[in-house]
Amino acid sequence: MRENKLFVFSDFFEHSTPPEKQSGRQLDATVSSGGTPTGLSILVVEDNPHIMEMYGYVLKKLAGELKGRVPIDVQFAADGHQALARLWQSPFDLVMLDLYMPVMDGFALIERIRGEDKLKHIPVLAISAGGEDTQARALGLGVNSYLRKPVRFAQVMETVKRLLEIQ
Amino acid sequence: MVSPRFHASLAKGIDLFNRREFYEAHEAWEEGWIDELSDSRVLLQGLIQVAAGFFKLQCAAPIGTVKLLELGLTKLRPFVGRSLGVDLEALLPAVDRWHALARQLVAEKRADFDPSLFPKIGYTQSPGLVDGH
């Protein structure tokens, strides 16, 4: 079990252990359906806890659609620096990232991912409020897909499925 | 008179809300809210905030639930009696109870609740008969 596990998908919506610490919401957390080496691992890099909740919900629904056939392990990072630490610790099947974050932004993170032999194969989905220039820059750095905020539930779900090659 | 999309948005959101798909319900109502020019857009806005409040509870974030349910209740109360077919007389007391529960959860630093008790939204008349639609 990962040290940073916070709650599990099966708990996420029906009953909940309290992730909402009184000192503030913990951003650096793991949501897991009991991930195994044969399951899917997704890294969400986002500094806005409300948007993070939405992505967590999408991935929880995806896990529900898969009915446990493919466990999904989701980890969260609040900036590029935290994300890199996660990426070096364990393999991932998808990175979903914001582009404008503190400490290390999404552009720098994409450059690092695409520049490392161990990481460069990982599909990257960038989700940002930025316009065409931002999109062009992200695509130029090698992201596989770009969604412009505000995003809809269905958009995120469809794109994640496509990048994970889930029918 | 409300916009043509209003009733479709309202009905779709109610269906999703009653299936406890609160995030999707909020999105469905938002589609109607964006286009609505009459003051009935405030009704949709109130429903959006109530749905968002329950979504926060599903995310184990009752602090957000308290704030959003308060906002939603404030917007919905003036629509009792002219709610375009939405049974607010049944919904609002239920939301009030969940608001009180959420406040209790925050005070006790808990986030556990029984999701089977989430409220459902009914109609006071067939949605097809409302406002000439």
Give domain status of residue B68, yes or no. Answer: yes
Give domain status of residue B122, yes or no. Answer: no
DSSP at A124 = E
Domain count of chain B? 1
Q: Which residues of chain B have a CB within 8 Å of the CB of A56?
A: 59
- The pLDDT-based confidence of B127 (bands split at 50, 70, 90) is low
ipTM greater than 0.85, yes or no?
no
What is the CATH number for A138? 3.40.50.2300
- The pLDDT-based confidence of B1 (bands split at 50, 70, 90) is confident
**pLDDT value for A24:** 29
Give domain status of residue B67, yes or no. Answer: yes
B59/A17 Cβ within 8 A: no
Give domain status of residue B132, yes or no. Answer: no
Residues 108-127 of B with CB under 8 A from A: 109-115
Question: Which of A156, A149, A150, A5 minimizes the C-alpha distance to A76?
Answer: A5
Whether A31 has a pLDDT exceeding 80, the answer reads no
- pTM for this predicted structure: 0.80
Give domain status of residue B131, yes or no. Answer: no
B59/A57 Cβ within 8 A: yes
Is A128 exposed, middle or buried, given 0-12, 13-18 or 19+ CB atoms closer than 10 A? Answer: buried
The residues near A95 (Cβ < 8 Å, ≥ 6 apart) are A42, A43, A45, A83, A87, A113, A122, A123, A124, A125
Give domain status of residue B120, yes or no. Answer: no
Q: Which residues of chain A have a CB within 8 Å of the CB of B55?
A: 53, 57
Q: Which residues of chain A have a CB within 8 Å of the CB of B28?
A: none
A14/B24 Cβ within 8 A: no
Over residues A84-107, the pLDDT tens digits come to 999 999 999 999 999 999 989 999
Q: Which residues of chain B have a CB within 8 Å of the CB of A15?
A: 112-115
- Bridge partners (DSSP) listed for residue B80: none
Range of the domain at A156: 5-164
**pLDDT value for A18:** 34
The mean of the pLDDT values for chain A is 80
Over residues B15-73, the pLDDT tens digits come to 999 999 999 999 999 999 998 899 999 999 999 999 999 999 999 999 999 999 999 99
Whether A2 has a pLDDT exceeding 70, the answer reads no
A54 touches chain B (CB under 8 A): yes
Q: How far apart are CA A91 and CA B32, in angstroms?
A: 42
What is the CATH number for B106? 1.10.3450.10
8 Å CB contact between B94 and A3: no
Please tell me the distance in Å from B75's CA to the nearest CA on chain A. 22
What is the mean predicted confidence (pLDDT) over A17-24? 33
**pLDDT value for A1:** 29
Return the number of CB contacts < 8 Å for A and B. 50
B24/A153 Cβ within 8 A: yes
**pLDDT value for A23:** 30
B32 touches chain A (CB under 8 A): no
Report helix angle A49-66 to A153-164, nearest 10.
60
Nearest to A19 among B24, B60, B112 (CB): B60
Give domain status of residue B118, yes or no. Answer: no
Whether A3 has a pLDDT exceeding 70, the answer reads no
B60/A20 Cβ within 8 A: yes
A20/B62 Cβ within 8 A: yes
Domain count of chain A? 1
Q: How far apart are CA B47 and CA B58, in angstroms?
A: 17
Max Cα-Cα span within chain B:
48
Over residues A110-121, the pLDDT tens digits come to 999 999 999 999
Over residues A42-58, the pLDDT tens digits come to 999 999 988 999 999 99
DSSP at B2 = -
What is the mean predicted confidence (pLDDT) over A26-49? 65
Give domain status of residue B91, yes or no. Answer: yes
